[in-house]
């Protein structure tokens, strides 16, 4: 009992403490919640005040912006109204001007109508007078109007035909004269602009020796050295009584040049035996080949021909340096023809590039015509096509001696430039015997025709004048005779350039007064 009482008192005190603590906690919690509500109410009130301020500021800004926009719109409207007023004023002025013009046009129409009426009255009067005059003329001439018109038209047709014939003849003669003058001008201009030298060579080359003792070393024991040299070079070596000179003869100009270079090197070196000859000839052949290519490239530069040319064409072009035709160096002739073609093509407005390229390559077949069958023009054309040249260039090369038909201006220019280069004074040379034989052949061909009295070859064989008997040859036959002689010359003779045939028919009648 004494023990339970303290425990019971302790429990009662503990429960009372717990109850008092709970009451205190609840009071404290109610106080904290009150403060929180007061703070929240204060924050809410502050937010409302800020929202009101923002709302007032936004309202003021919106009012200011609307006022500004309103002012701008009103200003723009005022400008538009002013512009519309100006446009309206201009339109009113134009309307007034158009009204005035319309009135003027109406007045002009009325004036034209009055004139048309006056003209119509005059036309009727003229028709009446014409009818009266026609009736009078029919009564006087005894012809109806249709018959008179037919006679008048037939007379006019005859007169017009005569006039047209004379006009056609005059225009034809004038055109021919102008064409001839223009052709002469172009050719003379290009010849004046071009200056080229003549290089003459023959089929032999001479090599100078330091002494006559060298001839024995060149011949060698029992002629073995000279035989080895001729076998390696393909030339003939002529050793005669000419002092300190050896002659190399060959129709192939490249082989002749290789032999000349090799012989000069052997003579300079002094060691001459078959083995050494073979080495020197091989080295000379390489050097000449290199010189050929270099000469081909120089020719392309001199002829103003661009690159893109096949290597074989360049080599063959350089080989023309060692070839001559009638004493004229073929490479120099080719460069000259290329320049002539370029100048004439420029004058005529033709393709200058094609003309120069074809002119430079037109004789390329001469570097290989001894190896291939056919004329050098066709050979050169085929080889140029094989090496990738254009069809325009190939056709101009093939046609420059008329083996095929010419189709373009460039074809004609190449043939013309080739003839001009060959025919210009001093370009080619002939021996005296060949020259005199050609003159005799020209005169014999002319004299072989019926009715020819005399024939004279003049201007170094570039013209032949034929005197005919007027009793046997009239003007019509004279024209045919000139044509026949020119065709026979083309068929039977070989000559550089062209030959002019002139037939002269002269009648003389004389009487003696006693």
Q: Tell the residue number behind the tokens 């080889």, with chain if given.
A: 383
Q: Are residues 437 and 419 part of one domain?
A: no
- Which residue among 366, 389, 423 closes a domain? 423
Q: Are residues 240 and 153 part of one domain?
A: no
Residue 378 near residue 430 (C-beta atoms within 8 A): no
pLDDT reported for residue 183: 64
Residue 97 near residue 105 (C-beta atoms within 8 A): no
> Is 3 part of any domain?
no
Q: How far is CA 345 from CA 2, 321, 342, 381, 482, in A?
A: 154, 26, 5, 21, 32
> Is 109 part of any domain?
yes
What is the rounded distance in angstroms from the CA atom of residue 384 to the CA atom of residue 368? 12
- 457 strand-pairing partners: 464
Most confident of 156-170, 317-331, 373-387: 373-387
Cα 152 off chain centre by? 56
- Identify the CATH number of the domain in which residue 208 sits: 3.30.1370.10
> Is 2 part of any domain?
no
Tokens of 419: 């003839």
What is the rounded distance in angstroms from the CA atom of residue 262 to the CA atom of residue 285? 8
How wide is the angle at C-alpha 391 spanned by C-alphas 388 and 393, nearest 5°? Answer: 85
Q: Are residues 370 and 309 part of one domain?
A: yes
- Band (pLDDT 50/70/90 cuts) for residue 370 is low
Is the C-alpha dihedral spanning 241, 242, 243, 248 positive or negative? Answer: negative
Examine the pLDDT at 194 and tell me if it is beyond 50.
no
- Which residue among 423, 446, 464 closes a domain? 423
Q: Are residues 348 and 210 part of one domain?
A: yes
What are 51-103's pLDDT values in tens digits? Answer: 888 888 888 888 888 888 888 888 889 898 889 988 888 888 888 888 888 88
Q: Are residues 184 and 153 part of one domain?
A: yes
Residue 343 near residue 406 (C-beta atoms within 8 A): no
Mean pLDDT of 438-445: 86
> Is 404 part of any domain?
yes
Closest CA to 263 of 204, 321, 305: 204
The 10 Å Cβ neighbour count of residue 453 is 14
Mean pLDDT of 459-471: 83
pLDDT reported for residue 434: 67
Q: Are residues 182 and 118 part of one domain?
A: no
Examine the pLDDT at 414 and tell me if it is beyond 80.
yes
Q: Are residues 126 and 170 part of one domain?
A: no
What is the rounded distance in angstroms from the CA atom of residue 331 to the CA atom of residue 325? 10
The 10 Å Cβ neighbour count of residue 504 is 13
Q: Are residues 350 and 228 part of one domain?
A: yes
> Is 79 part of any domain?
yes
Residue 361 near residue 317 (C-beta atoms within 8 A): yes
Q: How far is CA 501 from CA 47, 188, 307, in A?
A: 127, 22, 43
- Band (pLDDT 50/70/90 cuts) for residue 283 is very high
Q: Are residues 120 and 82 part of one domain?
A: yes
| String of DSSP letters for 65-107 | HHHHHHHHHHHHHHHHHHHHHHHHHHHHHHHHHHHHHHHHHHH
CB half-sphere exposure, 20, CA atoms < 13 A: 6
Q: Which domain holds residue 181?
A: 143-193
Number of domains in the chain: 4
- Of 369 and 17, which is predicted with more confidence? 17
What are 23-52's pLDDT values in tens digits? Answer: 778 777 777 777 878 888 888 888 888 888
- Which residue among 423, 450, 484 closes a domain? 423
> Is 492 part of any domain?
yes
> Is 82 part of any domain?
yes
Examine the pLDDT at 369 and tell me if it is beyond 60.
no
Q: Are residues 208 and 170 part of one domain?
A: no
Q: Are residues 225 and 173 part of one domain?
A: no
- The answer to which of 1-5, 69-73, 409-413 has the lowest mean pLDDT is 1-5
Examine the pLDDT at 159 and tell me if it is beyond 80.
no
Q: Tell the residue number behind the tokens 């400008």, with chain if given.
A: 79
Measured between its terminal Cα atoms, the distance across the chain in Å is 219
> Is 1 part of any domain?
no
- Band (pLDDT 50/70/90 cuts) for residue 192 is very low
What is the rounded distance in angstroms from the CA atom of residue 285 to the CA atom of residue 274? 16
Arithmetic mean of pLDDT over the chain: 80
- Ordered strands of the 236-238 beta sheet: 204-208, 245-249, 236-238
* Residue 27: partners with Cβ closer than 8 Å, 6 or more residues away: none
Examine the pLDDT at 242 and tell me if it is beyond 60.
yes
- The answer to which of 2-6, 73-77, 193-197 has the lowest mean pLDDT is 193-197
Mean pLDDT of 482-504: 83
Q: Are residues 378 and 242 part of one domain?
A: yes
* Residue 410: partners with Cβ closer than 8 Å, 6 or more residues away: 341, 345, 350, 351, 354, 355, 358, 392, 396
Provide the residue count of the chain: 514
Task: Give the SS3 label for residue 13.
Answer: helix
CB half-sphere exposure, 373, CA atoms < 13 A: 0
């Amino acid at each position: 009992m004494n023990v339970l009482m303290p425990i019971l008192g302790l429990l009662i005190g503990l429960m009372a403490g717990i109850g008092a603590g709970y009451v205190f906690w609840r009071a404290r919690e109610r106080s904290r919640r009150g403060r929180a509500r007061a703070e929240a109410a204060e924050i809410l009130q502050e937010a409302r005040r800020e929202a009101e301020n923002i709302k007032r500021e936004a309202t003021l800004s919106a009012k200011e912006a609307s006022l500004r926009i309103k002012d701008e719109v009103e200003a723009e409207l005022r400008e538009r109204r002013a512009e519309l007023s100006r446009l309206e004023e201009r339109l009113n002025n134009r309307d007034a001007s158009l009204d005035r013009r319309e009135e003027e046009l109406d007045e002009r129409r009325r004036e034209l109508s009055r004139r048309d009426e006056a003209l119509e009255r005059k036309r009727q009067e003229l028709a009446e007078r014409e009818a009266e005059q026609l009736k009078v003329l029919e009564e006087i001439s005894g012809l109806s109007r249709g018959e008179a018109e037919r006679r008048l038209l037939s007379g006019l047709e005859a007169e017009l035909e005569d006039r047209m014939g004379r006009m056609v003849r005059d225009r034809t003669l004038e055109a021919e004269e102008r064409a001839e003058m223009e052709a002469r001008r172009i050719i003379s201009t290009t010849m004046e602009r071009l200056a080229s030298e003549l290089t003459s060579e023959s089929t032999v080359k001479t090599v100078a020796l330091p002494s006559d003792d060298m001839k024995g070393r060149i011949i060698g024991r029992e002629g073995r050295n000279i035989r080895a040299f001729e076998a390696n070079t393909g030339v003939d070596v002529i050793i005669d009584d000419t002092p300190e000179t050896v002659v190399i003869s060959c129709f192939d100009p490249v082989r002749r040049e290789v032999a000349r270079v090799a012989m000069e090197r052997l003579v300079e070196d002094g060691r001459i035996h078959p083995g050494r000859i073979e080495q020197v000839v091989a080295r000379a052949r390489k050097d000449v080949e290199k010189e050929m290519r270099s000469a081909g490239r120089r020719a392309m530069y001199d002829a103003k021909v661009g690159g893109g040319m096949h290597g074989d064409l360049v080599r063959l072009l350089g080989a023309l340096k060692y070839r001559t035709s009638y004493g004229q160096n073929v490479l120099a002739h080719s460069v000259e023809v290329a320049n002539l073609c370029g100048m004439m093509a420029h004058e005529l407005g033709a393709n200058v590039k094609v003309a120069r390229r074809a002119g430079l390559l037109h004789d390329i077949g001469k570097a290989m015509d001894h190896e291939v069958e056919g004329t050098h023009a066709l050979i050169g054309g085929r080889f140029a096509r094989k090496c990738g040249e254009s069809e325009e260039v190939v056709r101009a090369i093939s046609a420059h001696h008329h083996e095929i038909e010419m189709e373009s201006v460039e074809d004609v220019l190449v043939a013309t430039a080739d003839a001009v280069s060959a025919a210009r004074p001093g370009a080619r040379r002939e021996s005296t015997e060949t020259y005199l034989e050609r003159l005799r052949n020209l005169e014999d061909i002319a004299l072989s025709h019926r009715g020819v009295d005399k024939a004279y070859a003049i201007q170094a064989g570039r013209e032949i004048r034929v005197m005919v008997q007027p009793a046997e040859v009239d003007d019509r036959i004279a024209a045919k005779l000139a044509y026949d002689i020119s065709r026979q010359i083309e068929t039977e003779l070989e000559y550089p350039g062209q030959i002019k045939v002139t037939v002269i028919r002269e009648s003389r009648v004389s009487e003696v007064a006693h």
